[in-house]
A and B are shown apart, each in its own frame.
Chain A
Amino acid sequence: MGNRAVDPTRIAVIVGMGLVTYLFRVGPQVLFVGRTFSETFDRYLRYLAYALISSLISTSLFLSGSRFEATAAPHRAVALLAAIVVAAWCRRPLVGMLTGTLLAVLLTWLRGG
């Protein structure tokens, strides 16, 4: 498997996927380039970024595809909370991340997973 010749149709589809994704990446930059935003719109974009980051965090932590990982959710929530508290307390995101990660591994191990 995988040792046969490269399929030109598949290459074309992959290039198409790349082009579509690249357009999404550059589109807003092309539209907004050189513009100075009002204080209000600048704040809106900031809030949008916060909402997006929070959403990315919770979906990548609690979902697997479109399935809610109910068994793992409680200890992941505890580990995430520990990461946040430690990061806020010592003002070092890396320490927060390590705390959360180690706690998640420890809780999984204690659970016998």
Chain B
Amino acid sequence: MRHSSPFREGAKAAIPVWMAFIPVSFALGVAAKTYGLHLWEILLMSALVYAGPAQFAALEPLASGKSALQVLLMTVLINLRFVVMSAAMAPYFRRVRRITLLLCLQLLSASSFVLPYAHFRQDSRSLSPEETGRNLQYFVGVGLTSFSVWVLGSGLGYWAAFRVPAGFEEGLRILLPAYFASLLTSELRGRTALLIGITAGVAAVPGALLNATWGWLGTAFVIATLGWGIERWIRRGSR
């Protein structure tokens, strides 16, 4: 039996991500054109920043010539989530060559965090160098293909000024959350993990309504810490 490479597996798993990225990146390209950015500017931004919310948010300040500090501060606030995602992924790439890892991490996005995370086996402490290498290949399979779709999509959107027909928007809107939730379903094992997952999902919306940038990230952090702390406390008590 022929086994497919981790890169190819990752690329196949990322197909729904491409489907979701195409309209969003097209929309970004259209918006960039509307704001008067040059084609190369949006392509450069998609390649270097590779983070939808920060890119959309930067269009107006860039176009209106707001201060660089203001744009950078906004980028810091919006993209701070990558710190937490990168930290959660760190154990799975522990034995990978540093230079390779540093090059590949540009591909980290919400999607290239969720998909590989759900794919990696749970206990990261006993991973062999081969396993961490395969983990990285899978991550690159998801990340590189999605990244390419994102950059190309923003360029094509700019060029074609294409808009998604209204009837398809709702389906595209739910595509990725439904995929992530389906992946998470098989991952959440144990009462604590399940409770943390459900509570974080419910609390994220009011959290984000209170503070659009920090709210959902803050609630996720607090709920994970509380759940973990309570579980430790109960375990100690039962010894």
- A residues with a Cβ closer than 8 A to B are 1-7, 9-22, 24-37, 39-40, 42-63, 65-66, 68, 72, 76, 79-80, 83-84, 86-88, 91, 93-97, 99-102, 104-105, 108-109, 113
User: A60–B176 contact, CB under 8 A?
Assistant: yes
| Most central of B58, B81, B186, B216 by chain A CB within 10 Å | B216
Quote the shortest CB–CB distance from B137 to chain A (angstroms): 16
Given contacts A2-B158, A87-B182, A91-B186, contact A44 B224 (CB under 8 A): yes
Q: Chain B 196-239 against A: per-residue CB contact (8 Å), 1 yes, 0 no?
A: 11111111110111001000110111011101100010000000
Complex contacts, B171 vs chain A, CB 8 Å: 101-102, 104-105, 108
User: B98–A54 contact, CB under 8 A?
Assistant: no
User: B177–A80 contact, CB under 8 A?
Assistant: yes
User: B181–A94 contact, CB under 8 A?
Assistant: no
User: A52–B174 contact, CB under 8 A?
Assistant: no
| Most central of A50, A76, A88 by chain B CB within 10 Å | A50
User: A6–B41 contact, CB under 8 A?
Assistant: yes
Closest B residue, CB atoms, query A108 = B170
Complex contacts, B84 vs chain A, CB 8 Å: 48, 52
User: B170–A54 contact, CB under 8 A?
Assistant: no
Q: Which 7 A-B pairs have the closest CB atoms?
A: A18-B48, A96-B182, A100-B178, A87-B182, A55-B204, A54-B201, A51-B200
User: A22–B175 contact, CB under 8 A?
Assistant: no
Complex contacts, A31 vs chain B, CB 8 Å: 90
User: A25–B86 contact, CB under 8 A?
Assistant: yes
Given contacts A33-B101, A83-B174, A87-B186, list 4 more A-B pairs with CB under 8 A. A17-B75, A29-B101, A52-B217, A83-B179
User: A22–B106 contact, CB under 8 A?
Assistant: yes
B130 at the A interface (CB under 8 A): no
Cα–Cα, bound, A2→B161 (Å): 12
Complex contacts, A48 vs chain B, CB 8 Å: 84, 87-88, 220-221, 224-225
User: B44–A14 contact, CB under 8 A?
Assistant: yes
Complex contacts, B221 vs chain A, CB 8 Å: 48, 51
User: A83–B178 contact, CB under 8 A?
Assistant: yes
User: A47–B62 contact, CB under 8 A?
Assistant: no
Of B34, B36, B71, B88, which is within 8 A of A52 by CB? B88
User: B216–A55 contact, CB under 8 A?
Assistant: yes
User: B217–A79 contact, CB under 8 A?
Assistant: no
